Chain A
């Protein structure tokens, strides 16, 4: 059930005219997930003083890439993931490259298994995502330890993994609605 071109009333033989405005609209709708990640990266790097801001940055990016990579890969190409990862790297202060690599790996898994994942239920997807998020957090913690040359407390990594896993359902609800409406290029 890959969601591309699934809106029935748009399968008419008469296609709307490809005006510049329509193309732009389509592009913005397709780029909505990437724009969302960049917006979140910039917003959450502001000094609001909210606890868990950096972890939320990572968690939202992971959920977004995971969801769109298997549910509508056209809205989340590898290059967009890379650019989003770079922006995240710029506006975060963790070990360099960790978020970018995590995003690319989770994108690779989701993209490679997209047909299987689409057939699986929400809970199964969530479980696989949870495992990957925990793995990515562990990788980040290991990199931080390597940078510090010391065995640091794994608590921040566990918190990040828990937060990432915890926000996935609510973000999925938002994305499922967005996939039908504001982030659907077919509705342009």
Chain B
């Protein structure tokens, strides 16, 4: 078709032309990278089923190896589990004995049983527009019985307190917000302190007795004051620096999902009236009735007998 000369010219020109194409591709990659990446992704997309088939034997082999390792470790695992089971059984017996003893002692001391708290569970939605930097909105549905000051917990510990109550949602102020101050008790040193949030993940401990410094690693619990019951787990003490104790919360405050709000009774910790002292009136936690009508509580009516200072 072509003369020998033309074919020779073609043969000589092929490589330079192809190199020019390659340079053009390099430049295209520099100028319009998404075009190239799109083509690559499409190619990978087309081959995705083939990749799956290729990787399948590898995955199967890995599974077999894991199974095989599990099978060879079976005897050791079995003996470990047997030991663990024995220890657990021992602790179960101890727990049962202690529970019985506790019941007996409470009985003989005429212990007033604590009321079983009411609770609602809701899903957390992030709070964008609230007045706090660390607060969450909780969807509790309509017809809920949540009040201001109720305690929010997740499966591992205290999260915060309810600060505002809406028709469907409540706002929970987390313990690490700058505005949060919670009275706490240190479990080992028996000291009291205030846990103050500072917008970091670890709230600070302040106002602890100067002769009873918190001990590194001891448990921190709520103290039982103003609608907050005693003994709710919060976390452990940790010293970030000398004389700077903080609380490492048990609850994962960054990833909240399902939260329970407990109502321990609003007047649980309210002290009886002391003669000669002016009583500080707390703002009503219930929303005002429609029409601006509100019924002031009569002193003594809301106070159940024997539920005085804890």
Contact = CB atoms under 8 A, between A and B. Distances in A.
Interface residues of B, number: 26
B26 A143 contact: yes
Contacts, number: 77
Contacts of A96: 25-26, 28-29, 33, 36
B51 A47 contact: yes
How many chain A residues sit at the interface, stated as a range, is 20 to 34
B18 interface: yes
Nearest to A108: B15
Nearest to A107: B15
Interface string B20-41: 0111111111100100100110
B298 interface: no
B210 interface: no
Contact of A104 (B15, B51, B54): B15
A128 to B, nearest CB: 18
Where chain B touches its partner, the secondary structure class is: helix
Contacts of A111: 15
Given A45-B47, A91-B44, A98-B26, A82 B21 contact: yes
A104 B19 contact: yes
B142 interface: no
Given A48-B55, A104-B19, A147-B33, A97 B14 contact: no
Where chain A touches its partner, the secondary structure class is: helix
Interface of B: 14-15, 18-19, 21-30, 33, 36, 39-40, 43-44, 47, 50-51, 54-55, 58
27 contacts: A46-B50, A46-B55, A47-B55, A78-B15, A79-B18, A81-B18, A89-B40, A90-B39, A90-B40, A90-B43, A91-B43, A92-B40, A93-B40, A96-B25, A96-B26, A97-B23, A97-B24, A97-B26, A97-B27, A101-B19, A101-B22, A104-B22, A105-B19, A107-B15, A108-B19, A143-B26, A147-B33
Given A82-B18, A97-B24, 4 more contacts: A47-B55, A89-B40, A97-B26, A104-B18
Interface of A: 42-43, 45-49, 78-79, 81-82, 85, 89-93, 95-98, 100-101, 104-105, 107-108, 111, 143, 146-147
